[in-house]
């Protein structure tokens, strides 16, 4: 049996986080979810807090990132991730209630891999999130690591 995929979910809305976690459990997806409540916590989890130290644990394999958060917003997290060789290649999926064209464009310009608009579906809460996780952990084939010459 393979190890669970490590996911970092960055969202300041506790209700959205709870819905996402329940959807993952309901779908039986093999993921190890870490939650950061804002951009500052995300940068700490990624080892990008400015002190030059690596993250405390292994980096996630996928980051789901909300945009509008206190302290440090998602755009700044994305900008810092793209500026660091340790996190530059991590897939980042933006999660937002916004579907504004300028928000979508800005995220892709900053290096996001996908933009997902949050949805409220009473019959299957969080289904959009579980479907996105399923794609990134089961269907997407990540690039192989860069081989260094010996």
Task: Tell me the pLDDT tens digit for each residue of 44-102.
Answer: 999 997 665 666 678 999 999 999 998 899 999 999 999 999 899 999 999 999 999 99
Instruction: Pick the range with the lowest mean pLDDT from 11-15, 133-137, 145-149.
Output: 145-149
How far are the Cα atoms of 8, 89, 101 from residue 49, in angstroms, in the given order? 16, 18, 30
Q: pLDDT value at position 1? A: 44
What CATH number was assigned to the domain covering residues 29-139?
3.40.50.2300
Average confidence (pLDDT) over 20-37: 94
Distance (Å, whole) CA 48 – CA 44: 6
Q: Write the DSSP symbol of residue 115.
A: E
Q: Is 109 exposed, middle or buried (0-12, 13-18, 19+ CB in 10 A)?
A: exposed
Tokens of 55: 């993250």
Sheet holding 62-66, edge to edge: 31-36, 5-10, 62-66, 92-96, 114-117
Q: Alpha helix (H) ranges present in 28-111? A: 39-45, 74-82, 101-109
Q: Write the DSSP symbol of residue 110.
A: T
Contact between 7 and 129 (Cβ < 8 Å): no
Contact between 101 and 83 (Cβ < 8 Å): no
Q: What's the predicted TM-score (pTM) here?
A: 0.89
């Amino acid at each position: 049996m393979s190890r669970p995929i490590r996911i970092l979910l960055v969202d300041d809305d506790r209700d959205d986080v709870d819905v996402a976690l329940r959807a993952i459990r309901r779908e039986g997806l093999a993921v190890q979810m870490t939650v950061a409540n804002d951009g500052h916590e995300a940068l700490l989890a990624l080892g990008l807090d400015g002190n030059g130290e690596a993250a405390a644990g292994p980096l996630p394999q996928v980051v789901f990132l909300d945009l509008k958060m206190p302290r440090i917003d998602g755009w700044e997290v994305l900008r810092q991730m793209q500026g660091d060789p340790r996190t530059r290649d991590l897939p980042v999926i933006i999660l937002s209630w916004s579907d504004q064209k300028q928000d979508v464009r800005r995220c892709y310009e900053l290096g996001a891999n996908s933009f997902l608009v949050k949805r409220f579906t009473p019959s299957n809460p969080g289904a959009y999130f579980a479907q996105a996780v399923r794609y990134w952990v089961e269907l997407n084939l990540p690039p192989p690591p860069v081989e260094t010459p010996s």
